[in-house]
Amino acid sequence: GQREWRPLTVDVRLSGRAETTVWSPEEQVTLAGRRSGTEVRFKVNGPPWDYRVRFVEPAVVPEVRTGGDASGLAVGQGDGHTVIEVKGGEFEIRARLR
């Protein structure tokens, strides 16, 4: 059987800066992250979907903000990682390091 694409789940591991592009059934999704000092920024540019972003390295505190067309922000913890669920297409997640 086929697995549902939603939410699109991304595991984030950042030591500096990273960017990648993946293809959804609808269109491409560009993911970009940057770690600077005590802040992590993660940008998504893709179709308006449900996204689950799991910060594996670095771990972030639940103090998370979003910008762009993000809505329905939910922040939780799972297996020692911060898990952020958000709806949107073009948005940025800003979080502080633990």
Q: Does the structure show a pLDDT above 80 at 98?
A: no
Number of domains in the chain: 1
72-83 mean pLDDT: 90
62-80 mean pLDDT: 89
| pLDDT band with cut points at 50, 70 and 90 for residue 3 | low
pLDDT for res 62: 65
Q: Cα separation of 98 and 86, whole Å? A: 21
Among 69-73, 77-81, 91-95, name the one with the lowest average pLDDT: 77-81
Contact 93, 51 (CB under 8 A): no
Residue-wise DSSP of the chain: -PPP--SEEEEEE-SSEEEEEEE-SSSEEEEEEEEETTEEEEEEEEEEEEEEEEEEES-EEEEEEEEES-EEEEEEEETTEEEEEEEEEEEEEEEEE-
Domain presence at residue 1: no
Q: Which residues make beta-bridge pairs with 81?
A: 78
Tens digit of each residue's pLDDT (9 = 90 or more) over 35-61? 998 899 999 999 999 999 999 888 776
User: Domain of 34?
Assistant: 8-53+66-97
- What CATH number is associated with residue 83? 2.60.420.10
Q: Does the structure show a pLDDT above 70 at 25?
A: yes
- What average pLDDT does the structure give for the chain? 89
Domain presence at residue 60: no
